[in-house]
A and B are shown apart, each in its own frame.
Chain A
């Protein structure tokens, strides 16, 4: 029976490990905070750029400390974040697709929608600029890419950036989605940028994500920027707790207030200056 015992011993050791792991984890992690009141959970559905840029890593701990609320940040594309709001799967949303957000406001799925910040979309492409779009305005740039059939990489994931890109094609009255040079990745901004760098294609991206990745590809350059239509505006809004039972409306409202508060706005204004010599987001409250 020796071997048999060993199997049990092994299982027992595993069990002990797990038990130890579990008990340790159950201890309150915050020092000094009375653990009598366990924090309530709040789900924040947001776009990947706010997480990938590192902005939320600075803001969320401040909010958590202030209100004894545990924030669960789910970073997905804006399309899915808005869908989560519509279904009551999230308590508060931070997204960047104004036209689609307004639809949710109209249907009263979300309340208390407030402008938080903006930055801008830019067109990035290979330094050699095969389509010659440098210095052209956005409409002309898209026209040139279309005419030359230069590789263009699209998010294709219903994110805020993807929605913006489709708007730009529509504004130029072009329909590239079936062309062979038009690649849809269906992935986040970072992965899409990397793909465009590998395939030497043009891509529409937010500046924050591009700056975070610029160190990984030196042959890519910013070829289109500074156009008013490229404004990338972020709004925060709470999900209507009257429409869905389990939505934490109170926490959602607190988060909206927090994002437009002076404390948060000051952090947003200064975020990224140290690392990139320029801010990644700009203050833009109502």
Chain B
């Protein structure tokens, strides 16, 4: 228990003293995770909408793959991206392995299926009668999508939060493709693993509080947004 309290005190000290390394790590974490979730959101929601609203041959197969992707183990994502990016791999010339770009790629790979899958599920639940009615009232394509997004707001924000949770929690792939390089690709989760392996439990606990505070703040904002009463 003592070490837990030590950790809290250390965390507060580290934040208050403006420890540059901790600040850098937190900053990199935010930058990487937000970029990844932004890409996943911007790409994933339209794909989810298309997948949810349209029927086409092979749709079930696509959904199966999206749903499998939702459970894609991050280490698997990490391994594939490593093989893609290392010097002898197909994209080796770009020199992307052990950069934050590589971490973002891995995080998009694990969060994109979640956002696509949950968005598609939300749109599949929309009542067909409502679709007909919106059409009958003469809404343009954009108006229609807008109305439907409004209808599925709860589910879509839940999808974004689920994706964000995945991205913030991810460590295996970030370690593998990022390399946990000091001042470069070191993020909160990978530096926690490292501090534990160094035996610095107090630092690891301090970092865990920072990570959880970040997760809390972002999720708090999104939840407020999600739960806001719809004013008609």
The chain A residues found within 8 Å of chain B, CB to CB, are: 1-4, 6-7, 10-11, 14-15, 17-18, 21-22, 25, 29, 41, 43, 48, 51-52, 57, 60, 70, 72-75, 87-89, 187-191, 193-194, 212-213, 215-216, 244-247
Contact = CB atoms under 8 A, between A and B. Distances in A.
B129 to A, nearest CB: 22
A163 B157 CA distance: 50
Interface stretch (B56-64, B69-77, B87-95): B87-95
B182 interface: yes
B34 A14 contact: yes
Given A7-B153, A74-B179, A18 B35 contact: yes
Given A212-B199, A246-B92, A6 B149 contact: no
Contacts of B222: 10
A10 B37 CA distance: 13
Interface in B16-46: 27-28, 30-31, 34-35, 37-38, 41-42
A72 B228 contact: no
A10 B225 contact: yes
B13 interface: no
Nearest to A71: B181
B197 A190 contact: yes
B209 interface: no
A89 B88 contact: yes
B219 to A, nearest CB: 13
Contacts of A188: 197
Given A29-B183, A60-B182, A73-B181, 4 more contacts: A6-B228, A14-B34, A72-B181, A73-B182
A21 B27 contact: yes
Given A89-B88, A213-B199, A216-B201, A22 B153 contact: no
10 contacts: A4-B149, A14-B34, A21-B27, A25-B27, A72-B179, A87-B87, A88-B88, A191-B197, A213-B199, A215-B199
B230 interface: yes
B231 interface: yes
Nearest to A189: B197
A87 B97 CA distance: 14
B41 A21 contact: no
Nearest to A245: B87
Top 7 closest A-B pairs, CB basis? A190-B197, A213-B199, A21-B31, A246-B87, A74-B179, A188-B197, A18-B34
Interface of B: 27-28, 30-31, 34-35, 37-38, 41-42, 86-88, 92-93, 95, 97-98, 146, 149-150, 153, 156-157, 179-184, 194, 196-199, 201, 221-222, 225, 228, 230-231
A191 B196 contact: yes
Contacts of B42: 11
Given A11-B38, A87-B88, A18 B31 contact: yes
B198 A212 contact: yes
Contacts of A4: 146, 149-150, 153
A52 B201 contact: no
Contacts of B182: 57, 60, 73
Most A CB contacts (10 A, CB to CB) among B95, B146, B180, B198 go to B198
A59 to B, nearest CB: 12
A14 B196 CA distance: 32
A7 B156 contact: yes
B98 A3 contact: no
Contact of B199 (A29, A75, A216): A216
Contacts of A1: 146, 150
Contacts of A213: 198-199
A1 B150 CA distance: 8
Contacts of B199: 190, 193-194, 212-213, 215-216
B31 A190 contact: no
B41 A190 contact: no
